[in-house]
Structure 1
């Protein structure tokens, strides 16, 4: 089969299965709004949980940073792309999250893959939650290490895998908040089992940092857990983009020598680091954003319960409504868009087969009226 034939076959199959993905050019604006074409929507698909991507202080920090540093780093951080702003951001992250070191990466995807590829050798074992992010699944599968998975959030499954492996180096990988289900990992118990079996723990807290725990320190701080490696991203609650790895001084120095995503990639712009610093300051000093988000989550769940709309047990900003069938999920999402609510249907392989869903994400930027209108439209669409 030629490439052209293969491409046409895959596209046809995806269309038939209701799995074809398409992008839409949209214009984002404050108050959780977006415009597509000539239509204005209330935005319920963003990971901008605190609305900080539209915060004047964050925008001004980026603009003033661009005037000071220019618009790009121009090189890898190992060459000339590492500025005083990058250094300050790493120091701030380390102090805020109580780790010896922080290293900046262009994205959470890059940070996760850099870690796995730099650490894992053929004599090592990676033990991961079955629903961990695609970046980690791919890196673990492609690494030379043995790769084992345990059922989602199953402590029994984790212990079984730990007991069944004898590698000197074992890395347990999980997430703080899972991006498609919105549930949280039992990190305290997982950490205890890791210590009992002399295994390292890595936590990807992309969806927990900024919104959970005191000062928004995330899932690990909330559960009083200190993993060996913590990954946080700046593109969700912090409202910018990029990521960081928090770790020991020795691991950081090792990654500076071995992490190809760090060594061979242009550093994120210094102006972007300034914007992240401004966002962190807001998160730490203004808890009212987290309080508003928490109130919106409670309001949404109460109103769905009142109208008999089935939800999962998620207590986070991620509130999935499981539909099951791909085509039906698309149809419900289209009905909601017709009512002025922008919500994407999430389908396999992002989620397991038969669990297509609406991934509703709430923000501190949503008003009570917007939430009430969404629930009413959701009731009719379902």
Structure 2
């Protein structure tokens, strides 16, 4: 009975919290751009006040990224209308700020001697949400709404690949970044926004000289090539790099088990979009992608937690309620207007994601006796740490590699 009461009030079990405390971040990066950007990141973190909590840096960047993308969405909700140039420039700025802050939060944690497993989880959690908005903003900037199937493919491909990156981490125990990966993708999207801002979004509708295709096809084909290479790399790692017993995952489960939650998100999204009598995806593309994106972010966060706590991942989740209602409504010949259920799915998925993340962060903070957005002491001794850590800042990858298990007395 006490165990049942504990499960009702807590998301993480005592065993998971213990495993989380023992977790050590493992990362390998071969990124092309990361070494070139290290001087900028090192300078930026050196200007950051020591009292500023690393997680606060992360969340500020995420909020800026979301706000700038929402402004773009307001002017072109379906990716068909040409958004004003300044909204594209604003998105480029928002993504650059997010990328920079996301890259220094781990460095700041080392400077202030406040690294913890929560930092890694918080960083990846914010990235899971940012991925949805970044992918959608790039598609709108290219006016990809003229080709709904391409719009669907690119957005859900970005969501699925981000999930697969953590899937292979759950299997191998190590986060791996290739030569063309997160940083390169982010700066490519920044470039797309800057082209739209400088030349106007209409530039993507013009024909390429000597080629029978529109300008927007060039980044599309490039993205498809990168997507295929990532799928091949992730598949190879998932099938061959299991670090558990007999090649299983870190939790000793099947390396293919995380495919079930992903399928429960992507497959219904595809079926509902194709079978909708009201063309719900074509008419409300941004709302549709955000609604399913929130569900995908929730299951990605659960996968990250399963990896960090070496636990089996649950397949079903309450965030799937919205997609389930949309599916059943179509099955019964649309008893309710689909747009009503789509907005419900977005609202439900968003609140469920925020509630889940808040509760998990609260439980981890209580277990590790730390604060989420505040450094609870005057980091006088951190100045020495920061000087010594400057030579090691290159080890960070998007702020994640430095979120290792802390040996700080503050924890």
TM over 0.5: no
TM-score when normalising by structure 1: 0.29
RCO higher in structure (CA 8 A, sep ≥6): 2
- TM-score, normalisation: structure 2: 0.27
Higher-strand-fraction structure: 1
